[in-house]
Amino acid sequence: MKKIEIKASLTVYDSLDELSEDVKALMVKAVAARKNAYAPYSKFRVGAALKLKNNEIVIGNNQENAVYPSGLCAERVAIYQAGALYPNVAIETIAISASSDVFNVLTPTPPCGACRQSIFEYEENQKSAIEIYFMGETGKVVKADSVKDLLPLTFGKATLNNI
Ligand code: THU
């Protein structure tokens, strides 16, 4: 028997102003996208903006449903849209921002477990890391260099194919 440790590394920025101009512009698009979320039930709005290798930007926001589990998170709306529009183009960066209609979201909001799993599928296929930046409404921004820092034990096609 032995214990193992799993390391994850994240970078924390004090505000949007510490980001590069490109990433800041992408986060501004995520903030704009979150305003158009359809979130009448949770009143929690999430926006995501992806930058692709061909320089296209694809956005998404959460889309809820009266049958709650039928809704979809912002991150998956965005990556599936990217997969639909540009099937063979790598995703370089994802920017995520969350706000609420009923309280101030002041802590950085990471993608949920299901979104991490979905992002991993794309990362594994494209064979290059996807940088993930996430924030609340304002304030600190956190960066993961790869979804593997948020989901260290991955289950993917390699697991299924024993490769
Ligand atoms: N949500 C996202 O859009 N992304 C996440 O990573 C976490 C949660 C949405 C889903 C739902 O519409 C609302 O936030 C509350 O869970």
Digit-coded pLDDT (tens) for 25-53: 999 999 999 999 999 999 999 999 999 99
Examine the pLDDT at 119 and tell me if it is beyond 80.
yes
Domain positions in the chain are 20-152
Mean pLDDT confidence for 8-26 = 97
> Which two three-digit tokens encode residue 9?
């590394």
Residue having the nearest C-alpha atom to atom 4 of ligand 1? 73
pLDDT in tens, 70-91: 999 999 999 999 999 999 999 9
Beta bridge partners of 96: 48, 134
**Strand 91-100 versus strand 131-135 pairing type:** parallel
In this structure, the residue with its CA closest to atom 13 of ligand 1 is: 44
Q: Which structure tokens are listed for 20?
A: 């590069």
Question: In the chain, which ranges are E strands?
Answer: 10-13, 44-52, 57-61, 91-100, 131-135, 141-144
Cα gap 111→108, rounded to integer Å? 10
121 is catalytic: no
At the fourth CATH level, the homologous superfamily of domain 20-152 is Cytidine Deaminase, domain 2 (3.40.140.10)
Q: Which pTM was predicted?
A: 0.97
Section 158-162 average pLDDT: 87
Mean pLDDT of 118-125: 97
Q: Indicate which residue's Cα is closest to atom 10 of ligand 1.
A: 73
Residues 6+ apart with CB under 8 A from 160: none
Q: Which of 5, 18, 75, 124 is catalytic?
A: 75
Q: In what order do the strands lie in the sheet with 44-52?
A: 10-13, 141-144, 131-135, 91-100, 44-52, 57-61
Cβ neighbours of 149 (radius 10 Å): 18
pLDDT at 163 over 80: no
What percent of the chain is modeled with pLDDT above 90?
98
- Which protein residues touch ligand 1 with a CB less than 6 Å away? 39, 42, 44, 46, 62, 64, 71, 73-75, 111-112, 115
